[in-house]
Amino acid sequence: GTVKESGEKHKGSVEIPNLSEENEVDDTEINVSKKKGEGDVLKDLMRTEGTTKVREALRDYLKALKTEFTLGMILPTKATVGQEPAPEQKPSGNTMQDCVLPQALDIVGVKIPTVKILMREIFSSPADELYSIFTTKELVQKFSKCPAVIEAEKGGKLVMFDGCVSGEYAELVPSQRIVLKWRCRTWPDEHYATVALNFKDMAAQTELQLECTGVPVSNEDSTRQCWKKQYFEEIHTLLQCSKDSME
């Protein structure tokens, strides 16, 4: 702190040895100390009015911790690490299967509560053709109906839907798997989800399995709708148009 009259600055510290949710904040012990020299007026002020301010901050801090815990923002304990994931549901027919699994914070970008989105879709196309639709600039621009940046190589950039979606390619296995670092423009700055696209060849058809981890809880529905409406349905339309033109 700074003594107003003289303008001299003095350093000290506040120690809180017994902070716990088991104790009332008003009963929390607060020790004030300062380095040698003048400035006792600051030390006395911290012991009186300063202590009240510190307790107010502690009260807000404990409340925030409890809120964050209920939202899944606290990292899982060792006991939860290594548990077997819940079995995935098998798709039926040609309808999209999707579900959202709440989970602890994914360490991707900033620390916010996130969910995992799982989706499946059957396309009337062999796996290599469907894979090309996600990795070829001309085809991406056809189904997205927008200019796009598609650098289909590890570390290559991805920009779609007039910049509403961006990211980069993290892994590419031709006709089998694509992993993307992926985000929507409305998400918190620098926060990315990880999108894994697995292509399961079924003769003339392909089952696309999507796993999107690190999706902000508040953007759960909009992200699922983005993949359903702007990706899957538009790709179905593109494939149908290609089929009609061949016939």
Reply yes or no on whether the pLDDT at 138 is more than 90.
Answer: yes
Percent of the chain having pLDDT more than 90? 50
Q: Has residue 77 been placed in a domain? A: no
**Shared-domain flag, residues 58 and 131:** no
Q: Token digits for 113?
A: 């509560």
**Shared-domain flag, residues 23 and 126:** no
Reply yes or no on whether the pLDDT at 88 is more than 60.
Answer: no
Q: Token digits for 101?
A: 């699994």
Nearest to 26 by CA among 63, 66, 54: 54
**Shared-domain flag, residues 137 and 60:** no
**Selected residue with higher pLDDT from 139 and 16:** 139
User: How many domains does the structure of the chain reveal?
Assistant: 2
Reply yes or no on whether the pLDDT at 244 is more than 90.
Answer: no
Q: Has residue 1 been placed in a domain? A: no
pLDDT at 110: 45
Q: What is the pLDDT of residues 173-187, one digit of tens each?
A: 999 999 999 999 999
**Shared-domain flag, residues 37 and 138:** no
Residue range 163-192: mean pLDDT, rounded: 96
Q: Dihedral of CA 44/49/52/57: which sign? A: negative
pLDDT at 108: 45
**Shared-domain flag, residues 134 and 237:** yes
pLDDT bracket for residue 137 (50, 70, 90): very high
pLDDT bracket for residue 49 (50, 70, 90): confident
Q: What number of CA atoms fall less than 13 Å from residue 120's CA on the CB side?
A: 14
Which residue shows structure tokens 């994914």?
Answer: 106
**Shared-domain flag, residues 235 and 118:** yes
**Shared-domain flag, residues 235 and 126:** yes
pLDDT bracket for residue 10 (50, 70, 90): confident
Residue range 190-197: mean pLDDT, rounded: 96
**Shared-domain flag, residues 118 and 229:** yes
Q: Has residue 17 been placed in a domain? A: yes
Which residue shows structure tokens 């380095």?
Answer: 35
Question: In CATH, what number is assigned to the domain containing residue 118?
Answer: 3.30.530.20
**Shared-domain flag, residues 120 and 236:** yes
Which range of residues forms the domain containing residue 62?
Answer: 11-71
Q: Has residue 4 been placed in a domain? A: no
Q: Has residue 157 been placed in a domain? A: yes
Q: Has residue 217 been placed in a domain? A: yes
Q: Dihedral of CA 222/170/116/100: which sign? A: positive
Residue range 52-81: mean pLDDT, rounded: 59
Q: Has residue 91 been placed in a domain? A: no
**Shared-domain flag, residues 154 and 33:** no
pLDDT at 38: 63
Q: Has residue 96 been placed in a domain? A: no
Query: Beta 165-173 vs 177-184: how paired, if at all?
Result: antiparallel
